[in-house]
Structure 1
Amino acid sequence: MFAPLRYAAFRYLAAGRLVNMLGNGVAPIALAFAVLDLTGSVRDLGLVVGARSLMNVLFVLFGGVVADRLPRRVVLVGSNLLGALTQAAVAALVLTGTASIPLLLALSAANGIVSALAQPASAAATPQTVPPELIQPANAIIRLGMNTGMIGGAALGGVLVAVVGPGWGLGIDALTFAVAAVAFTGLRVAAPGAGRTGTSIVADLREGWTEFTARTWVWVVVLGFMILNAALAGGLNVLGPAVADATIGRGAWGVVLAAETAGMVVGGLIALRIRVRRLLLLGVACMFAESLLLLGLALAPTVVVLVTAGVAAGIAVEQFAVAWETSIAQHIPADRLARVYSYDMLGSFVAIPLGQVAVGPVAAAIGNRDTLLILAALMVFSVLGMLTSRDVRRLQAGAAARATGTAPADPVDREPDPGDAAAPAEPPVRA
């Protein structure tokens, strides 16, 4: 199960992504309550988080092209350093009492651009660090590390916000960006298409689009997650803190988010061992459980109910995450993988800003409870829509359908030579 850890490049990758997700656990809680403390407006919170998501959507395709041209180590180190700068600026504004909604909007947008540059490179790098037969356990281990980081981050975020204020939480997030950049300096893997010349960005995007649309199961799942992610982002990131403020409290909300991530850790351990032929079918079907958190917020916003729903949702979501990452890595050519991921991210994220911005006015008109119930129903219908596709139901897991080319040939624990272009060199991905 843990054979991927025998490869040094994979360990650098896993460490960087774990630290990234530690910060990702702190940041949403800290930012949400920083905005609520500043204006008390759910609408303002939706605008701030929506600005980041919008820039992420607008620039993610460019990030895919960059990741298939430049060494992924360069992309990851540079983007994390820029992320550290943007979050440090937000923390300084909050701590000094000089924050304003326009400033937070601008910095959130800048952070969204940085994230868009990092995400395709991060997602596409894993298959380069291990042999093809280890892709599924490698994805499961990456997810385990990321979710462990999220547990600590969410719990820490709740404590920091409750005890010393949201500004310090944002400062910790900036620090994790910097630490992750240091970890990623150990990756020395060039993208399969690095050094490619004679093609324009438009031609590269067209080639990626051809790969993306050639497989029905890919675009059907992405379309389903366009709806599901918009509903989840609006319900969990915008209405969730507002409901928590009025019911269970800020510290307990951090515990709820940590509980979901704890469920993901358990789900990751399950995914390490599970062997089914129709892995994607299992993963998509498990996504029904993601609606439980929104239903809990709407119908019974207590710590017991929300923690239980969070754990169940986390276990289920992890089955999809590993199934999706494995299916993509096994069926998409390596030199086009980052661009396919960028289209995946564009489709999956494009409606998130709409969900985040629109949920405030809708909740003001019909109430938080009814809004959360509508969002939960949208999530259920999106999963049903994905399952109507025969290609989604019948896709089989198996040996990789592509040549990785740059994966290490042996598990020798060694440091790659910096000048070896073929040596193996991938949070939230900063999501």
Structure 2
Amino acid sequence: MWTREFMLFFTARTVSMLGWAITPVATALALHDAGYGATGVGLALAAWTVPMAGLILFGGVLMDRFTPRRMMIGADVVRVATQAAMAVLFLLGRPELWQVLALSAIAGAASAMYQPGVAGTVARVAPDVQRANATLRMSEAIMQLLGPGLAGALAGLAGVGVVFAIDSAGFAISAVCLLLMRTRVTGSGEEPVLVRLREGWREFRSRTWMWSVILIWVIFGITLFGPLIPLGSVIVTDTYGQTAYGLVMSASGAGTIVGGLLALRVRPARPLAAGGIGMFLFALEPLSFAAGLPLGVIMACHVLGGAGWAFWSVMWATSVQTLVPAEALNRVSAYEIGGSTMAVPIGQALAGPMAGLVGARELLTVSALVAVAGCLALLSVRPVRQISVRP
């Protein structure tokens, strides 16, 4: 598995994921300190997610035309610039909210041009797709473990501008690694964009196991994933301080390492069913915020939640990459990623106002209940329970 190409891709993903892990924490802490509150945090996260979800279908089509490698390098270069600009703004003082939103939107658009190529690249550079996905998930988990704590510490010691500068450097290293890869994929012609979008849609909708999961993820986006960071960051920061929230996110990263290790060793005959069972643990994350538990217990809940999320993620990625034909994988991945993320900005933007009406803890209690109900619905879908992948 550890070929030259996979090692370069592994390095690119690892260093960029360090930046990815610290950015939400840095954004939440920075905007909270600047006085923008949960609403400002939610809007900033939504500003990144809206263009990401809205443009990702076109990212999948452009991957086929210009090749994933070129598109991913271009996206990294754009994100080097956006995160460097963010660093300068915070190093110089208190930026206007619109400046943060604008840069977040550009970074989100660049991510839409990057993300559809990940699945196809893994399938091309790794002979054992599940082991590769599990290895990448563990690497990402280690970055998620180190990143939030590093973000909290650096934000407290040197300011969030330094955190964004590290993020920019990570994307630069990622671009260099991708540039050094020898894997070449030829562009697939000049068919009109709408034709390619329709072809991708036909592939996507023909797989009940895929669109049923994405439908549940749309509900999760509004009620679970969207509110979790804006409200959780405010609750923990107000109660235990800035560093505490970084520790909580690091605990979630530690959990994803556990989930990745489990996915390396376990090959369930029905991976989506096994992953769906693991996802029940994710309900502990919003529940721990809502219940006002001691910091140590909140961290323990996030270890379990992170483990469940990582195990599900490996099972899902492996199913997509092995059951979708290679020639359609970029476009289908775009529909899959776009569908699973398009509702998140709605939840992020509504988190602050809804918390003002019903209370942050009460809203996160609903999130925990929805997480359990969604997992039950997931396991009630026969194709999800019965789908299997080749070794």
Q: TM-score range by the shorter chain?
A: over 0.9
Q: What is the CA distance between 1:40 and its match in structure 2? A: 3.7
Matches of 2:162 and 2:293 in 1, distance apart? 27
Letter in 2 for 1:382: G
Within the alignment, does 1:182 sit opposite 2:205 as a pair?
no
Q: Which residue is 1:413 aligned to?
A: none
Instruction: Please give the per-residue CA displacement for 1:289-340, whole angstroms capped at 9, x wherever unaligned.
Output: 1110110001034221111011111111111111111111111010110111
Q: Mind listing any 5+ residue stretches in structure 1 that lack a counterpart?
A: 400-431
Q: What is the CA distance between 1:389 and its match in structure 2? A: 0.6
Letter in 2 for 1:213: R
What does 1:170-249 correspond to in 2, within 5 Å? 170-191=164-185, 194-249=186-241
Contact 1:44/1:101 (<8 A) preserved: yes
Q: Which residue is 2:130 aligned to?
A: 136
Q: Which residue is 1:337 aligned to?
A: 329
Matches of 1:381 and 1:304 in 2, distance apart? 27
Contact 1:212/1:340 (<8 A) preserved: yes
Q: What is the CA distance between 1:98 and its match in structure 2? A: 5.0
Matches of 1:220 and 1:138 in 2, distance apart? 25
Q: Of 139, 142, 148, which residue of structure 2 is paired with 1:148?
A: 142
Q: Which residue is 1:159 aligned to?
A: 153
Matches of 2:262 and 2:359 in 1, distance apart? 38
Contact 1:147/1:265 (<8 A) preserved: yes
Letter in 1 for 2:78: L
Matches of 2:346 and 2:294 in 1, distance apart? 28
Q: What is the CA distance between 1:385 and its match in structure 2? A: 1.6
Contact 1:127/1:329 (<8 A) preserved: yes
Contact 1:73/1:188 (<8 A) preserved: no
Q: Of 373, 378, 385, which residue of structure 1 is paired with 2:377?
A: 385
Matches of 2:190 and 2:32 in 1, distance apart? 50
Q: Of 94, 97, 104, which residue of structure 2 is paired with 1:101?
A: 97
Larger displacement relative to structure 2 (220-229 or 100-109): 220-229
Q: Which secondary structure does the structure 2 equivalent of 1:360 belong to?
A: helix
Q: Mind listing any 5+ residue stretches in structure 2 that lack a counterpart?
A: none
Instruction: Please give the per-residue CA displacement for 1:132-180, whole angstroms capped at 9, x wherever unaligned.
Output: xx11111111111111122121121111112222221112111111111
Contact 2:83/2:165 (<8 A) preserved: yes
Q: Of 75, 83, 88, which residue of structure 2 is paired with 1:92?
A: 88
Contact 2:221/2:342 (<8 A) preserved: no
What does 1:6-17 correspond to in 2, within 5 Å? 7-17=3-13
TM-score normalized by structure 2?
Answer: 0.97
Q: What is the CA distance between 1:68 and its match in structure 2? A: 2.1
Q: Which residue is 1:41 aligned to?
A: 37
Q: What is the CA distance between 1:130 and its match in structure 2? A: 2.2
Letter in 2 for 1:27: T
Q: Which residue is 2:15 aligned to?
A: 19
Letter in 2 for 1:9: E
Q: Which secondary structure does the structure 2 equivalent of 1:188 belong to?
A: coil
Contact 1:247/1:302 (<8 A) preserved: no
Quickly say closer, same or farther: Cα 1:336–1:190, change in 2 above 3 A.
farther
Q: Which residue is 1:357 aligned to?
A: 349
Q: What is the CA distance between 1:63 and its match in structure 2? A: 0.7
Q: Which residue is 2:61 aligned to?
A: 65
Contact 1:276/1:397 (<8 A) preserved: no
Q: Which secondary structure does the structure 1 equivalent of 2:388 belong to?
A: coil
Larger displacement relative to structure 2 (336-345 or 371-380): 371-380
Q: Which secondary structure does the structure 2 equivalent of 1:196 belong to?
A: coil
Q: Which secondary structure does the structure 1 equivalent of 2:280 belong to?
A: helix
Q: What is the CA distance between 1:250 and its match in structure 2? A: 1.1
Letter in 1 for 2:143: G
Matches of 2:71 and 2:181 in 1, distance apart? 11
TM-score normalized by structure 1?
Answer: 0.88
Contact 1:227/1:379 (<8 A) preserved: no
Q: Of 288, 291, 296, which residue of structure 2 is paired with 1:296?
A: 288
Q: What is the CA distance between 1:215 and its match in structure 2? A: 0.9
Contact 1:212/1:219 (<8 A) preserved: yes
Letter in 1 for 2:174: A
Q: What is the CA distance between 1:39 and its match in structure 2? A: 2.3
Q: What is the CA distance between 1:45 and its match in structure 2? A: 1.6
Contact 2:48/2:105 (<8 A) preserved: yes
Query: Percent of pairs identical after alignment?
Result: 35
Q: Which secondary structure does the structure 2 equivalent of 1:185 belong to?
A: helix
Q: Which residue is 2:116 aligned to?
A: 120
Q: What is the CA distance between 1:105 and its match in structure 2? A: 1.1
Contact 1:21/1:146 (<8 A) preserved: yes
Within the alignment, does 1:323 sit opposite 2:319 as a pair?
no
Q: What is the CA distance between 1:119 and its match in structure 2? A: 0.4
Matches of 1:62 and 1:326 in 2, distance apart? 23
Q: Which secondary structure does the structure 1 equivalent of 2:115 belong to?
A: helix
Letter in 1 for 2:47: A
Q: Which residue is 2:260 aligned to?
A: 268
CA RMSD of aligned residues (A): 1.3
Matches of 1:57 and 1:294 in 2, distance apart? 24
Letter in 1 for 2:164: L
Q: Which residue is 1:404 aligned to?
A: none
Q: Which residue is 2:24 aligned to?
A: 28
Q: Which residue is 1:371 aligned to?
A: 363
Contact 2:323/2:389 (<8 A) preserved: no
Matches of 1:295 and 1:173 in 2, distance apart? 30
Q: What is the CA distance between 1:197 and its match in structure 2? A: 2.0
Letter in 1 for 2:307: I
Matches of 1:206 and 1:309 in 2, distance apart? 42
Instruction: Please give the per-residue CA displacement for 1:18-69, whole angstroms capped at 9, x wherever unaligned.
Output: 1111111111111111111222421122111111110111110011111222
Matches of 2:126 and 2:171 in 1, distance apart? 25
Matches of 2:115 and 2:121 in 1, distance apart? 10
